[in-house]
Structure 1
Amino acid sequence: MIDRMVHPAPASQFDRGSFYRFPRCCVAPIGLLFALALAGCEKAQSQEAAPTPPLVTVAQPVKRTVTDWDEFTGRFEAIQEVQVRARVGGFVNSVEFTDGAIVHAGDLLYVIDPRPFEAVASQAQGQLDDARAKAELAKRELDRGLNLVQTSAVSVQVVDQRRQALQAAYAAETQAEGALKAAQLNVEFTHVLAPITGRVSRHLVTPGNLVQGADSGATLLTSIVSLDPIYIYFDVDEATYQRNSRLWFEGKRPSSRDTSNLVQVTLTGEIKPSHEGKMDFLDNRLDISTATLRSRAIVPNKDLSILPGQFGRVRIIGSSPYEALLIPDTAIATDQSRKIVFVVKADNTVDVRPVMLGPLDGGLRVIREGLMPEDQVIVDGLQRARVGAKVTPKKAQAPADDKAPAGARP
């Protein structure tokens, strides 16, 4: 058996850590490569730290002539509304209208049994004929007495008595005429006629039922409301009333008391006004419980589509025409209690402008203060805009009704 012996190498061949030593000729190139790598990393980081400014859409304010409108909630009411009641008592013979139909003044609605009233009228006619005959006889006797008194055939006292009898006969004739007219009116009242033109409600009494006349609590038969034109009532708050009064004193707005100012009405479910009317009435005092002024406009209703009781939004002129700057409502942001817009300056940096808003007009918001016609307002991309940061502005397309922005107009 041969023993294998490992002889350690001489210390001169291997030193401690000799496996980690490199030749000196390789040290310089490795350091140069490391420096180049670091430089490349720093360059890449600098490129990532300076990205392209975000893209935003800008537009100049639109300049045009506008008129302010005040808007209120109103309720429609009929100009004429009649509760049709029986004027004489009796049994209903027939109903002569269709429920909910349009009726005209004078149309027959109900027929009440007229026979009892016709009998009374005949009796009154007989009494009138009798009174007229007695009056004629009394006149002849008086004429005869006047002739006889000249020859002293009769005394003056007899003549006076005959004169008094004639006057009594005339009075009886007048009473009989009145009784006949009353009886004829009762006959006429048995035919219930529509007093106005409008839409009738349903019939409340069916044939065969007994109704009471005006003397004993008139029975309600139906109702009629007029539809064309129609009123709309609304309440104006005190601040608006004072502002409009001030404009009237300054000659900038006509008063609705003296002028039939235009109003526009938007019905429930509509997004823009569909009817126009005119102011018709302002109350003489403010309601002390609500501090509002009851107002009324009259609106044509040719198609009879509006019914009493409906709600509507009423717009009334709040100023005379004036030049204004307008921007899309979406370009306006809120900063706590103030409204702001973002504009792009000449160096493409973003700036913020506090603005005072006016009403909407044609889908655009009126800006009363805070903007100039030449300002470039950010209308799209607000979430990418930061005050003081650079952006890449892109011009927005001009609205269809305004081919050029305000700053480009002469």
Structure 2
Amino acid sequence: MSSHSPIAKSHLRLLLLAAGIAVAFIVAGCSGHAAPTAAMPPPPEVSVAPVLMKNVRQWDDFTGRVAAVETVELRARVTGYVDRVAYTEGQDVKKGDLLFVIDQRSYRAELLRTQAELAKSRSEAQLAQSQNARSQALLKARAVSREESDTRQAAVAQSNAAVRAAEAAVSTAQLNLTFTEVRSPIAGRTGRALITAGNLAQADTTILTSVVSMDPMYVDFEGDESAYLRYNELARKGERAATKNPVRIGLANETGYPHLGVVDFIDNRIDSNTGTIHARAVLANPDHVLSPGLFARVQLEGSAEFKAMLVDDKAILTDQDRRYVYVLGPDNKALRKDIVTGRLADGLRIVTSGLAPEDAVIVEGMQKVFFPGMPVQPKTVAMQSPAGSAPVAMK
């Protein structure tokens, strides 16, 4: 085989390439200048805030409905045609204000008739008394019989009874005439007129309108069985009042809970079908902002005031089923602490265990901490609720 064959030339080229690479490595190794090492980045900047110690109250959330303290359905108490509707629908009225007038003519006539009957009965009673007096005088003179005297005495008793019956009839007629003017029995707000002028109103049957009281107001809500048992246990320990517990009320269009009241009634049994118990709060409503039937957000005091550790909720991280925060340790190193959290109080989270009052928690820049013990550059800030959030009660 010739030494200049294609295979021999290919081997020669591979040997020359290998020799070139070896020379390059030798030259690089013999060079007196090493490659520069990358500079370490500075510790990340983070914001730290001291744990806030504050007296707080626990509040539990419920939903309820506003209800009037007094609700009256006005019915006609006498039969007759409605002569006049004397109020404006939906207006606020005082106790005793005139609302409807039923035709009074027949009832005035009945009053006049009974008054005439009373006058007649009184006249007859006076005559009977005079006759009885004369009969008694004649009896002493033995001018009349005992039977005649007894008859005169009986006539006096009958005439007196007739007078009392006539007086009762006059009182009834006067009362019926009064009932033709339908007046509000309570102060409150009227509803729409369910019957108008010219229509027949039947006594004790026809509903004319309704009136609801406006100040104070009730808020009815339902509490679950576990909350009821917890409240009773706290009350036995003296950590919660047994009665007149404070409540805070907010309507659907309101921020927070601007209306304050107290619980004035708790039912005497748990509903076995729903596992809840009915409760009722009462609160002032001088501006008539609350109306019956409105949806209400209710916060009920869950416990007496106590001192708690509070941290910003966004500083709390999760690791599967555990919660933790980073605190500032010695030499400005971020240390991890597992914590147990409670409810919100004024926008901050209650920490029941895992933190010390002197700890400073990293509240901003936690994403820059890649592992516990990592150095950081701390910037101290105050522990406060998230910007733009109004103080809220515990959830």
CA distance in 2, matches of 1:255, 1:173: 60
Q: Please give the residue correspondences for 1:75-224 in structure 2 after superposition, counting only pairs within 5 Å.
A: 75-214=65-204, 218-224=205-211
Cα drift, residue 31 of structure 1:
4.3
Maintained 8 Å contact 2:80/2:201: yes
CA shift in 2, pair 1:121/1:32, >3 Å: same
Q: Could you list the runs of 5+ residues in structure 1 that have no partner in the other structure?
A: 1-15, 22-26, 402-410
For the pair 1:237 / 2:224, whether they are aligned, the reply is yes
Number of residue pairs matched by the alignment = 368
CA distance in 2, matches of 1:82, 1:38: 101
For the pair 1:71 / 2:61, whether they are aligned, the reply is yes
1:90-143 per-position Cα deviation (integer Å, ceiling 9, x unaligned): 111111111111111111111111001111111111111111111111111222
RMSD over aligned CA atoms reads 2.6
Cα drift, residue 297 of structure 1:
1.2
Q: 1:40 aligns with which of 29, 35, 40?
A: 35
Q: Could you list the runs of 5+ residues in structure 2 that have no partner in the other structure?
A: 1-11, 386-395
TM-score, with length taken from structure 1:
0.83
Aligned to 2:293: 309
CA distance in 1, matches of 2:346, 2:91: 40
Identity %: 39
User: What is the identity, as a one-letter code, of the residue corresponding to 1:96?
Assistant: A
Q: 2:237 aligns with which of 245, 250, 253?
A: 250
CA distance in 2, matches of 1:200, 1:347: 72
TM-score, with length taken from structure 2:
0.86
CA distance in 2, matches of 1:208, 1:311: 38
**More displaced, 388-397 or 55-64?**
388-397
Cα drift, residue 244 of structure 1:
1.8
1:354-393 per-position Cα deviation (integer Å, ceiling 9, x unaligned): 3222222221111111211122322122333334351414
CA distance in 1, matches of 2:222, 2:167: 53
Cα drift, residue 252 of structure 1:
2.1
Q: Secondary structure at the match of 2:219?
A: strand
CA distance in 1, matches of 2:137, 2:364: 114
CA distance in 1, matches of 2:34, 2:360: 41
CA distance in 1, matches of 2:106, 2:176: 10
Q: Secondary structure at the match of 2:34?
A: helix
Maintained 8 Å contact 2:89/2:192: yes
User: What is the identity, as a one-letter code, of the residue corresponding to 2:248?
Assistant: Q
Maintained 8 Å contact 1:248/1:255: yes
Aligned to 1:327: 311
Cα drift, residue 170 of structure 1:
1.4
CA shift in 2, pair 1:353/1:184, >3 Å: same
CA distance in 2, matches of 1:237, 1:400: 32
Cα drift, residue 245 of structure 1:
1.4
User: What is the identity, as a one-letter code, of the residue corresponding to 2:218?
Assistant: Y
Q: Secondary structure at the match of 1:316?
A: strand
Maintained 8 Å contact 1:55/1:391: no
User: What is the identity, as a one-letter code, of the residue corresponding to 1:225?
Assistant: V
| Structure (1 or 2) with the larger CA radius of gyration | 1
CA shift in 2, pair 1:349/1:206, >3 Å: same
CA shift in 2, pair 1:358/1:29, >3 Å: closer
